Amino acid sequence: LEAGILDRVTIHPQRFDAVAPFAADVVTARACAPLDDLLGYAAPFIGETGRCVFLKGKGVEEELTAAETHWTMRLARRESLSDPAGAVLVIDQLKRRKR
């Protein structure tokens, strides 16, 4: 709010399943679900050019391993300032693996 971006951002402060899918530039979540599930929830919203920014805790490695069995993605990992054992994951080029 203090960043002066309110005229460029729409916040949907409700459960994802209550919002009809649309192409968003960024989907973010914290403490919502395991990464594998979270990617499934986000996929209908990010389209071809969107990205996900997810704050994950100490189980981030296990969540990434589980998610990579179902998804391909480009991943950038950032240090979490609030949880030294966690990470901020920036994900784009998300595609579900063929079964």
* Confidence (pLDDT) at 42: 94
Indicate the angle between helix axes 35-46 and 60-67, nearest 10 degrees: 60
pLDDT at position 1 over 70 = no
Mean pLDDT, residues 2-6 taken together: 66
Mean pLDDT, residues 56-85 taken together: 94
Q: Going edge to edge, which strands form the sheet with 51-56?
A: 26-30, 51-56, 87-96, 71-79
* Confidence (pLDDT) at 2: 61
* Confidence (pLDDT) at 4: 67
**How many angstroms separate the CA atoms of 23 and 68, rounded?**
23
CA distances to 31, 49, 50, 70, 82 from 23, in Å: 23, 9, 7, 21, 29
Q: How many CB atoms lie within 10 A of CB 51?
A: 19
* Confidence (pLDDT) at 65: 96
Report residue 20: phi and psi, to 5°.
-65, 135
Mean pLDDT, residues 33-50 taken together: 92
Which residues are registered as beta bridge partners of 26? 51
**How many angstroms separate the CA atoms of 75 and 52, rounded?**
10
pLDDT at position 9 over 90 = no
Mean pLDDT, residues 29-52 taken together: 91
